Copies of this chain bind each other. A is one copy, B any other.
């Protein structure tokens, strides 16, 4: 398998049949059209088998009305009318390996997170770092940009950042990137000792040299130009094995990751996919303002991680 370089590649890979198997996905309170449409598209493309957990009457009505002609062989309705109970049932199905992927339906993020994080019945193993792992498909960039974390950890400490890098590396490798190039981002290439995470960056590079992260290249601090733009980054004459070719972008904080991706989604034609990692299985946790495309590709991302 060559590396997957765009969302089109991603879909083509998952629908190729080449050793790729359909994954089972539990959708918590799947009563809204947003999650139903994304799940049904992923079913249609052969990517998942959907377990729609929620009020059976509502779900069945919607399936009949909006997806009348769809093949329902891989669609199952699990009738749990109460939203909280539906979350609990979906999480249980994932925890007990009946499903490979958890997806949020019509339920507040806080509510499903409480169930996911529940010490007894949840799916976050003790001591694991919960973080949001994402991918940008930027028309002007020559490959996918795996990036973290735009949503969950405001200002990662060193231990969290190390885990975030490992999750992103795992994702990039599952996408066929053999030796991922990881850019530790900062406003400039000059380390600024006044900035808290600078020492973490240095320590992480030291750990990389000791083999902690496997076969990959980690460099930084560097700015977005050096990481992703050979022409503009090159003018700076900063020697970096990454120059203009980063696979993985590690952002200083979730503010910078968030502003970066939203700018490119709104004004750079970029597509975005993302999910929660650190849990036993990937959790697709899109928000209402995410597009249908974003939801679909987030399921695709989860399906690859679950292979």
Contact = CB atoms under 8 A, between A and B. Distances in A.
Interface of A: 138-141, 150-151, 154, 185-188, 192, 194-195, 223-225, 228-229, 232-233, 235-236, 251-260, 262-268, 270, 287-289, 291
Q: How many protomers of this protein does the assembly include?
A: 2
Contacts of A150: 187
A250 to B, nearest CB: 11
B266 A224 contact: yes
Nearest to A252: B255
Residue of A187, A254, A270 contacting most chain B CB atoms (<10 Å):
A187
Given A195-B154, A225-B289, A288-B235, A264 B259 contact: no
Given A253-B253, A289-B236, A267 B138 contact: yes
Contacts of A270: 267
Contacts of A253: 252-253, 255-256
B262 A223 contact: yes
Given A232-B266, A235-B288, A236-B288, A185 B225 contact: no
B268 A224 contact: no
